[in-house]
Homo-oligomer: A and B are copies of this chain.
Amino acid sequence: MRNRNTAPRKSRPPASGAGKARRRCLIGGGYARGEHTRRRLLEAGIELFGELGYERASTRAIAHRAGVSLPALQYYFGGKEGLHRACAQYITEDVRTRLAPATQRVREALDRRDLARSELLELLRAVVEPFLEGLATERPESWALFFARIQGEQGVALDAIFQQIGGRLLTLVMEIIGRVLGRPAESPEVAIRAVMIVGQITLVRRARPIILRALGWPDFDGERLTTLKEVMWQAIACSLSPAPGPARESV
């Protein structure tokens, strides 16, 4: 958003800058070579945006890591912001499809009226645990880093990603918790608990250095990851115990 006013933006060669830029090579005919650099830019963007955040990741650094020249970024994504949007969309799509089968399975199971507490908790675990594992371990794709960044940066990409991933996950968790607690899924009690449970999971990524330091661990590897998952799950399951402290609700 630097010289937006001075530049008359006379031609704006190919890309529109929005998410679904780069359609020419499909319309126009072939030219499959460009798809490669586009992909490289996308991956480099995810890496560097994740490592450094939106501001500190310069377009030059991204282009360099992608092994392409600087104008290629503008050419394919219309600018830095466009690339960021495209990265967010790419990740969103990827995670969404990866989570889809589990989501579907859980949703079908939820349609059954007669679910025991333990069954509901098992469903919750099935939803939450893959998510935790993806965040705790350093994926080479590093989308978890990217994902964690945009939450702290309050950018426009937050809306899209939240609706696509966080929203779905949260809705699902709220339904399960609502069933467990015997309250409507939209009630504040259920919503707060759901947010806190999902938030706890994301903490594994966001407060990673602090957690590791508090535990005196070098990393979440193998045995330790198992311990982490187990303890966190114990705490979550306990927090949904039927009779909380002072007599409150009884289904």
Residues on A lying within 8 angstroms of B by beta carbon are: 53, 55-56, 118, 121, 149, 151-154, 158, 162, 166, 170, 174, 188-189, 191-196, 199-200, 202-203, 206-207, 209-211, 213-215, 224, 227-228, 231-232, 234-241, 243-246, 248-251
Contacts and interface: CB of A to CB of B under 8 A. Distances in A.
Contacts of A152: 149, 152-153, 206
Contact of A196 (B53, B203, B240): B203
A170 B189 CA distance: 26
A171 to B, nearest CB: 9
Contact of A203 (B53, B149, B189, B199): B199
Given A192-B231, A199-B203, 20 more contacts: A53-B55, A53-B153, A151-B207, A152-B153, A174-B214, A189-B231, A192-B228, A192-B235, A196-B203, A199-B199, A236-B239, A237-B244, A238-B239, A238-B240, A238-B241, A238-B245, A239-B239, A241-B248, A244-B250, A245-B251
Contacts of A162: 210, 213
A177 to B, nearest CB: 10
A47 to B, nearest CB: 16
B55 A231 contact: no
A52 B192 CA distance: 27
A202 B193 CA distance: 15
20 contacts: A118-B246, A154-B209, A162-B210, A166-B210, A188-B227, A191-B215, A192-B227, A195-B203, A195-B207, A195-B210, A199-B199, A199-B207, A199-B211, A203-B203, A234-B244, A238-B241, A238-B245, A239-B239, A241-B241, A241-B248
Contacts of A248: 234, 241
Contacts of A234: 244-245, 248
**How many identical chains are in the complex?**
2
A60 to B, nearest CB: 15
Task: Name the prevailing secondary structure of the A interface residues.
Answer: helix
Contacts of A209: 154, 158
A199 B213 CA distance: 14
Contacts of A154: 209
B244 A238 contact: yes
Query: Quick one: which of A118, A154, A211, A244 has the most chain B CB within 10 A?
Result: A244
B200 A196 contact: yes
A166 B103 CA distance: 36
